[in-house]
Amino acid sequence: MLINLNKQIIITAILLISVIAIFQFTDLDIFIQSFFYNFDTKNWLIDKDEPILKFFFYDGIKNLLILFAVAILFSLIFLRKKEFIQEYKKGLIIVLLAAIFVPVIIGSLKAISNTPCPCNIVNFNGTYPETKVFDSYPKDFIQTSKAKCWPAGHASGGFALMALFFLFKTPKNQKRALVAALIIAWSMGTYKMLLGDHFISHTVITMLMAWLIILIIVKFVQIKQREDIEKPTKI
């Protein structure tokens, strides 16, 4: 299992690097983002101040994900002796760790990046030049504040739910959990894209980063579990 997991980690890492390179050296982001912007009215498809959409796809879903993580933590601490919790303990730990580390790591990368959002760049009536992840700003550009738009922080919470794949035991339920997680995460990511807050590359890269983090968490949990089993008991 560990060997197979190692292969999955390597494949995901290679795919992540490849996708970053594709978006770095092409204009796919600008091309796709152009469909979400009205160049006549200079407006995005969705208004940031639209309350219903903001509640469902931003504030509401974010709060639900936090409550979900808290509920798992509560169950692992206070209901740990229950048969159901014991049966799914390993999977619940993986989901909880993913709910913590995926947003934290993605958020940390976002905090140190200096990549502008679509709404910031001149192509879409902003003031920043088009600057990709590994690009430098032109020397004559005066930056008043650091841009922190890469990767996609909001969608990372949704992509953390991909860890539910490891909670279930049958392939059918695993696939259902993964599909449900992707639907939730992409609805969050698409909402931000339609606002002009993210390029599609930000969301795709966040998805791959999240999956890589989850695989590493699974490997760590398996190694820890193996060590606990092999640990000699004192007589």
Asked if pLDDT for residue 227 goes beyond 90, the answer is no
pLDDT digits (tens, 9 = 90+) for 96-125: 999 999 999 999 999 999 999 999 999 999
pLDDT reported for residue 144: 84
Q: Residue 119 domain-assigned?
A: yes
Confidence of residue 225 (pLDDT cuts 50, 70, 90): confident
Number of domains in the chain: 1
pLDDT reported for residue 206: 98
Q: Residue 49 domain-assigned?
A: no
Q: Residue 75 domain-assigned?
A: yes
Q: Residue 107 domain-assigned?
A: yes
Could you tell me which residue, 138 or 226, shows the higher pLDDT? 138
Asked if pLDDT for residue 2 goes beyond 70, the answer is no
pLDDT reported for residue 229: 75
The predicted model scores a pTM of 0.94
pLDDT reported for residue 230: 73
Q: Residue 108 domain-assigned?
A: yes
Asked if pLDDT for residue 195 goes beyond 70, the answer is yes
What range does the domain containing 212 cover? Answer: 56-135+149-223
Secondary structure of the chain in the HEC alphabet? CHHHHHHHHHHHHHHHHHHHHHHHCCCHHHHHHHHHEECCCCEECCCCCCHHHHHHHHHHHHHHHHHHHHHHHHHHHHCCCCHHHHHCHHHHHHHHHHHHHHHHHHHHHHHHCCCCCHHHEHHHCCCECCCCCCCCCCCCCCCCCCCCCCCCHHHHHHHHHHHHHHCCCCHHHHHHHHHHHHHHHHHHHHHHHHHCCCCHHHHHHHHHHHHHHHHHHHHHHHHHHHHHHHCCCCC
